[in-house]
Each structure stands twice: as structure tokens, then as C-alpha cells.
């Protein structure tokens, strides 16, 4: 006898998937832009233009929508009055000697699990730190550390933003700027104290 599956269960699962997808897209836009109203506006803009049918292939639709949300968010950052996504301006923020020698999250003393805890933690401590960064440093950090893009993919996305000076982004420059952002984050965590890190996920020494 075949196991009976209530059609309502499938509908609830699909609804849950759609809700989770929408929340992830919103968080992506909010992390890049730093403003919830702007993030909502980006989601509305992208959803109105997306072509994939979420009912036919929800994963393909989510992937396409996610890529468009990232691109639309970067286009808005490109017009930020604090310098946009100018590669030259971002490089000008780099100190002669960075405290981070590797463009890996662990170099800042964080694990991916800790980073997630900081994003979701009380008062969104990571977002408070992100708000102090220039648009370019913010974009590079979110693309690399939060969204998991490599240096080359991040450089491509930044060049396609249309920002003045964005044509100067290369994988090497993304790596350099990311190390500077990691250095800033590491210093911020040191000043905040170890107690600020999510409990139970201490970085390995």
C-alpha cells in the first residue's frame, strides 16, 4: 500500500519555501544597501521583471531572482554620494600595511557560523559595523563573506554596476579591499570584546 500524502502538506511546503526565498532575497538587498526601504524597493523591482516561473522550477527562479537582486542593489550603490563603487576610491582607503594577510573570513578570527550569528544577533551588530563602511567596502565584504562569491565573480558584479570607476575592479583589487574590510571587522570585534561573539562558536586559535 502506497503511503498517502496530503496535498495540503505539499502546498504548505511550497509556501514555506517561497517565504524563505523571499526573506533571503530581502536580507541580501538589505545587507548590500543598509536600508530596509531601499531593499523592499529592489525586491519589488526585480520580482516585477523576473521571467522564470517559480511554479515550474522554483530553484531556477530563486537563483535568477537572487542574481538580479544583487545586480539591482549594486546599481543603487553605484549612485551613493559617498563615492559609489569606484575601484580607485576604494583602493585609496587601504592602509599601507593591512593587519590581515589572507582574504579568508577565518583571518579575522571568525567562522561562517559566527558570522551568521553576528548577522542575526541582537541589534544586528554586524550591520552596525557595515553602516560605517564606504559603499565599496560594504559591497565587497557582503559579496565575499556573506554571499560567498569569489574575487573574480565579485569583480565582475562590481564592474557591471555602472558606477563611475567601476571598470577598475579586478580579482586582485577585490582581494585587497576584502582584506581591508576583514581588518576593520577584526579590530571592531577586539574592541567589542569576546563576549560579543555568538556563544558556543568560538573561533579556533
19 or 2, which is more confident?
A: 19
Query: How distant, in Å, are the alpha carbons of 38, 86, 92 from that of 77?
Result: 10, 10, 18
- Residue 18 predicted with pLDDT over 50: yes
> What share of the chain in percent tops pLDDT 90?
40
Q: Does the structure show a pLDDT above 50 at 11?
A: no
Residue 157: strand, helix, or coil = helix
To which H or E segment does residue 152 belong? helix 151-159
The span from the CA of 91 to the CA of 83, in Å, is: 12
Task: Select the highest-mean-pLDDT range: 11-20, 37-46, 107-116, 126-135.
Answer: 37-46
Closest Cα to residue 178, out of 70, 123, 101? 101
Residue 202 is classified by DSSP as P
Mean pLDDT over 62-76 rounds to: 92
Q: At CA 154, angle to CA 120 and CA 77, rounded to 5?
A: 70
What mean pLDDT is reported for the chain?
79
Q: Is the pLDDT of residue 201 over 50?
A: no
Amino acid at each position: 500500500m502506497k503511503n498517502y500524502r496530503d496535498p495540503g502538506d505539499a502546498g504548505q511546503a511550497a509556501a514555506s519555501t517561497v517565504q524563505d526565498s523571499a526573506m533571503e532575497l530581502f536580507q541580501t538587498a538589505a545587507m548590500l544597501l543598509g536600508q530596509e526601504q531601499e531593499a523592499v524597493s529592489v525586491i519589488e523591482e526585480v520580482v516585477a521583471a523576473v521571467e522564470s516561473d517559480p511554479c515550474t522550477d522554483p530553484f531556477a527562479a530563486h537563483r535568477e531572482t537572487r542574481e538580479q537582486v544583487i545586480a539591482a542593489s549594486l546599481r543603487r550603490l553605484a549612485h551613493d554620494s559617498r563615492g559609489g563603487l569606484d575601484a580607485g576610491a576604494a583602493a585609496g582607503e587601504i592602509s599601507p600595511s593591512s593587519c590581515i594577510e589572507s582574504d579568508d573570513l577565518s583571518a579575522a578570527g571568525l567562522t561562517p557560523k559566527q558570522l551568521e550569528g553576528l548577522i542575526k544577533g541582537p541589534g544586528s551588530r554586524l550591520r552596525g559595523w557595515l553602516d560605517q563602511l564606504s559603499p565599496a567596502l560594504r559591497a565587497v565584504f557582503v559579496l565575499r563573506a556573506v554571499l560567498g562569491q569569489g574575487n573574480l565573480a565579485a569583480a565582475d558584479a562590481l564592474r557591471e554596476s555602472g558606477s563611475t570607476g567601476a571598470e577598475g575592479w579586478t580579482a586582485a583589487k577585490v582581494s585587497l579591499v576584502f582584506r581591508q574590510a576583514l581588518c576593520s571587522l577584526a579590530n571592531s570585534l577586539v574592541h567589542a570584546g569576546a563576549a560579543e561573539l555568538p556563544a558556543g562558536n568560538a573561533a579556533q586559535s
